[in-house]
A and B are shown apart, each in its own frame.
Chain A
Amino acid sequence: MRFIVFVSGMLMTACALAQQIGISIERIDGPVLIASRISGVLRIAAKTTLELNAAEISLAGRTWRNVRISCPDLKQERDVLICAQGAIESPDKVPLSFRYSTLTKNIELVLRPAANEEWRVSMTGTTARVITVDIHNGALAHLKSWWPAEWPGPNAGALSGKVTFIEEREARVHGELTISNFGFANASGLHAGEKINAVIALQAQQQGEQWRWESRLDWKSGDVFWQPLFISGSAHSLNMAGTFDAKRFAIEQGRLMLAGIADIDVTAAYDRIASKLTVASVKSNNVDMAALYTKLIKPAAQGTVLGDLRCDGHADFSLTFKDGEIVTVDTVFKRISVEDNSGRFAFFGLDGVLPWHREDLKTAKLHIAGGEVLRVPFGTFELPFETRGLRLRIRDVEIPVLDGKISIADFASSGEREGWRWRFTGAIKPISVELLATALGLPAMRGTLSATIPTVSYAQSTLNVDGALLFKVFDGTITMQNLALENPLSKVPRLTGDIDMRNLDLDLLTGAFSFGKITGRIDAEMKSLELVNWEPVRFDARLRSSAGEYPKRISQAAVQNISALGGAGAAAAIQRSFLRFFETFGYSALGWSCRLEFDVCEMGGIANVPQGYVIVKGGGIPAISVLGYNRKVSWRELLARLKRVTEGNVIVK
């Protein structure tokens, strides 16, 4: 405390000589305090007064200019100078008092910025100086000046406790501080905390050029929002130990205990000169996924596809960082299950090790015991894959679905600058349509579904199928071409494509949709199909009897339904004639077309007649023809009629 000896020497010498003494000090240098160009006056009278002005005072890196210290009644008791009611102005005026012993050089300085707030600094000892800072209800807002600019600033809270600094050959610091009702926020409000109550214990010991430190933070209560995470609750703690010197700050051992969520081990090294995190590691074992999801992920994932899940199982996580970037992430999954509460997807029994490295190739194999997508269940499968940075590759995987399989070959994805993109080829190996329809809650259908999936690619929010997607169903084939799905994850996904159906067995098809039985086969094409939010807004569709020889019969119910769709009908005509005695009729061909645009379906049949168009052309005995009269119908009206027909009818066999 070289500077204090110097100042007191000035004072005592001056007192002996005159009634009014001018003080002038060019500079004072202390471990944390620097003051320059100090001038002042000591007036000795009935009341001794002291006035000091410092052009600049720096305390632990923060600088004040034009600081004025005044003491209207400076007393001396033996070797002790006492200022009971002084003030410091810079420019705010803060009450100040001090006691200074010219003999021991001990000093005690007390600042009382507000009622019930006190910052008491004392320096004692001769060989080993002991500096104690004793704070009672100190407003944390005062510390704003020392807060790093990039941190959210304090806006509320008080600090109480004591920190002791012992200046020996190798200095020591220890202390315990209680933080109450602490709040902080950045300007955007996206990093903020409120009503935080915590206790911090700290000790540090100088070892040569380096300090070795240890700290403990006990989180009693409070909320923190660090977009997108929100952490609340109590009994969290952070214990750390490490070293620091002029160049480097290191956490050698750190343990963050988030009560009821996870215990996380942390190490880190921060380069103080370059201001960057050089290396770090974060590790947590046996994390309870149910707790992690409920307390941490769910609030952050509101409104997304992950916003309402049920999670179960445990996982180990291990991350390493270098030069501020993530280098490796290793995850071990242990019997993890995830279920979307709105029933869109689920998987269970996820096991395996998932390694990832920013640059190196890593291979892994995950095991999935089963699950479901849109209520269609899938069975056990192995998922082998390779990762390298943001690239992911799955060479071959077969997923059992109902009684068949979906195979995916050569799945490759990468996170490019313009967004996520991936592609794969695959196949659907025969799946029973009956089982699929039951799972999807559709009317009972028969047949098998199998398909060759050409290249499917996803980029710039659009999924494209290059080539034809081929389904074998209703004993015929369905080919889909030029398929594109824009914004699949948005509220209005848009599907466009062309569909071609060949040789579909009408018996199987009409049986499925309670339409009334029709025996025969049809070809259908749907060009320029456009579905928005899975509802058709545009297409050019036509269907007609397939070429070839096969039995062609149509039930009375089907005739009535086709007529009802046309808005008027043959139904009444049947009822009036002898035809009502027949359950089925022969036909030679049937066909219908609909060109949908702007919510209007423009209809046609297999041939035109003066009154309209022919939908069913009679043939055989007894024969019946069905004509359509209306060329245009509102699409919604047509759908409503179709719904009435399929809901209101008993299948006529």
Chain B
Amino acid sequence: MRNLNPIRLGWLALLMLFAGNLWAQANLEINTPAIAALQASMQKRHTELAPFYANGAIGLTREGFIALREANAVALPQRQQVNGLVAADNADRAAMYREIARANGKPEWENDIRTTFAQRWIDKAAGGWYFQNNAGAWTRK
């Protein structure tokens, strides 16, 4: 939980004392047919998105999604297609966070799982890709 702020972390520690290591047990690698289907779909789309991460047209948001941050970096005839890819990828991401929370039996953890993944995507991003820092500003890795 790299992305939790100190106050939230305090609450979490308190919660753990009473509820017994609750959040720490969330299995982010959990696999269900739905999660596998979503990951496969995102994997397949990634080859189409990769050049646009590389040229800065697309960036990773701090909310665990992607955004078309510089449409002018995409050739005009492709612009709507890239818009569509971004929307489809975000729909998959939203569904994946929901499914991981549900597979853990804790649908209410969806937001925490999303912010954890947001940090994971940023950590795994290649050099030169853009991401939103904690203040929401676009930063080049």
From A189, A194, A487, A537, residue with most partner B Cβ within 10 Å: A189
Partner of A533, one of B34, B77, B85: B34
Which of B68-76, B112-120, B130-138 lies at the interface with chain A? B68-76
- Asked if A259 CB lies within 8 Å of chain B CBs, one says no
Knowing A532-B34, A533-B34, the reply to whether A223 touches B77 (Cβ < 8 A) is yes
The interface of chain B, by Cβ under 8 A from chain A, is 32-34, 37-38, 41, 70-74, 76-77, 79-81, 83-85, 87-88, 91-92, 95, 99
Q: How far is the CA of A494 from the CA of B38 in the complex (A)?
A: 13
Knowing A487-B95, A532-B99, the reply to whether A192 touches B76 (Cβ < 8 A) is yes
Interchain CB contact under 8 A, B77 and A492: no
Q: How far is the CA of A232 from the CA of B77 in the complex (A)?
A: 8
Chain A residues in 8 Å Cβ range of B87: 303
Interface 0/1 of A303-341, CB less than 8 Å to B: 110010000000000000000000000000000000000
Interface 0/1 of A483-510, CB less than 8 Å to B: 0000100111010000000000000000
Interchain CB contact under 8 A, B38 and A299: no
Knowing A192-B72, A537-B34, the reply to whether A303 touches B85 (Cβ < 8 A) is yes
Interchain CB contact under 8 A, B70 and A189: yes
The interface of chain A, by Cβ under 8 A from chain B, is 185, 188-190, 192-194, 223-225, 227-230, 232, 299-300, 302-304, 307, 487, 490-492, 494, 532-533, 535, 537, 599
Interchain Cβ contacts within 8 Å, total number:
76
Q: Tell me, rounded to whole Å, the shortest Cβ–Cβ distance linking A16 to chain B.
A: 60
Q: Tell me, rounded to whole Å, the shortest Cβ–Cβ distance linking B42 to chain A.
A: 10
New A-B contacts (16) at CB < 8 Å, excluding given A192-B71, A223-B77, A537-B34: A188-B71, A189-B70, A189-B72, A223-B76, A225-B77, A230-B79, A299-B81, A303-B85, A490-B91, A491-B38, A491-B92, A492-B38, A492-B95, A532-B34, A533-B33, A533-B34
Q: How far is the CA of A537 from the CA of B76 in the complex (A)?
A: 43
Q: How far is the CA of A599 from the CA of B33 in the complex (A)?
A: 10
Q: What are 26 A-B pairs with beta-carbon distances under 8 A?
A: A185-B72, A189-B74, A192-B79, A193-B76, A224-B76, A225-B76, A227-B80, A228-B80, A230-B76, A230-B79, A230-B80, A299-B77, A299-B80, A299-B81, A302-B84, A303-B84, A303-B85, A303-B87, A307-B84, A487-B95, A491-B38, A492-B38, A532-B34, A533-B37, A535-B33, A537-B33
Q: Tell me, rounded to whole Å, the shortest Cβ–Cβ distance linking A609 to chain B.
A: 34
Chain B residues in 8 Å Cβ range of A532: 32-34, 99
Q: Tell me, rounded to whole Å, the shortest Cβ–Cβ distance linking A196 to chain B.
A: 11
Interchain CB contact under 8 A, B95 and A302: no
Chain B residues in 8 Å Cβ range of A487: 95
Q: Tell me, rounded to whole Å, the shortest Cβ–Cβ distance linking B21 to chain A.
A: 20
Q: Tell me, rounded to whole Å, the shortest Cβ–Cβ distance linking A264 to chain B.
A: 21
Q: In chain B, what residue has the closest Cβ to A194?
A: B76
Partner of A492, one of B74, B80, B81, B99: B99
Q: In chain B, what residue has the closest Cβ to A188?
A: B71
Q: Tell me, rounded to whole Å, the shortest Cβ–Cβ distance linking A174 to chain B.
A: 33
Chain A residues in 8 Å Cβ range of B92: 491
Q: How far is the CA of A633 from the CA of B39 in the complex (A)?
A: 26
Q: Tell me, rounded to whole Å, the shortest Cβ–Cβ distance linking B68 to chain A.
A: 8
Chain A residues in 8 Å Cβ range of B72: 185, 189, 192
Interchain CB contact under 8 A, B37 and A225: no
Interchain CB contact under 8 A, A491 and B84: no
Closest 9 CB pairs of A and B: A189-B71, A303-B84, A189-B72, A532-B34, A302-B84, A492-B34, A535-B33, A223-B76, A225-B76
Knowing A185-B72, A188-B71, A537-B32, the reply to whether A491 touches B81 (Cβ < 8 A) is no
Knowing A192-B72, A303-B87, the reply to whether A491 touches B37 (Cβ < 8 A) is yes
Q: Tell me, rounded to whole Å, the shortest Cβ–Cβ distance linking B121 to chain A.
A: 19
Chain B residues in 8 Å Cβ range of A230: 76-77, 79-80
Q: In chain B, what residue has the closest Cβ to A185?
A: B72
Chain A residues in 8 Å Cβ range of B83: 227-228
Partner of B81, one of A223, A302, A494: A302
Q: Tell me, rounded to whole Å, the shortest Cβ–Cβ distance linking A451 to chain B.
A: 28
Interchain CB contact under 8 A, A189 and B33: no
Q: In chain B, what residue has the closest Cβ to A187?
A: B72
Chain A residues in 8 Å Cβ range of B81: 299, 302-303
Chain B residues in 8 Å Cβ range of A491: 37-38, 41, 91-92, 95
Chain A residues in 8 Å Cβ range of B37: 491-492, 533
Partner of B79, one of A189, A232, A304, A537: A189
Chain A residues in 8 Å Cβ range of B84: 302-304, 307
Q: How far is the CA of A307 from the CA of B85 in the complex (A)?
A: 12
Q: Tell me, rounded to whole Å, the shortest Cβ–Cβ distance linking B44 to chain A.
A: 12
Chain B residues in 8 Å Cβ range of A188: 71
Chain A residues in 8 Å Cβ range of B73: 189
Chain A residues in 8 Å Cβ range of B32: 532, 537, 599
Chain B residues in 8 Å Cβ range of A535: 33-34
Q: In chain B, what residue has the closest Cβ to A302?
A: B84
Interchain CB contact under 8 A, A300 and B80: yes
Knowing A189-B71, A189-B79, the reply to whether A490 touches B95 (Cβ < 8 A) is yes
Q: In chain B, what residue has the closest Cβ to A635?
A: B33
Q: How far is the CA of A302 from the CA of B41 in the complex (A)?
A: 16
Q: How far is the CA of A85 from the CA of B122 in the complex (A)?
A: 59
Q: How far is the CA of A300 from the CA of B77 in the complex (A)?
A: 11
Q: How far is the CA of A627 from the CA of B32 in the complex (A)?
A: 31
Q: How far is the CA of A188 from the CA of B41 in the complex (A)?
A: 28
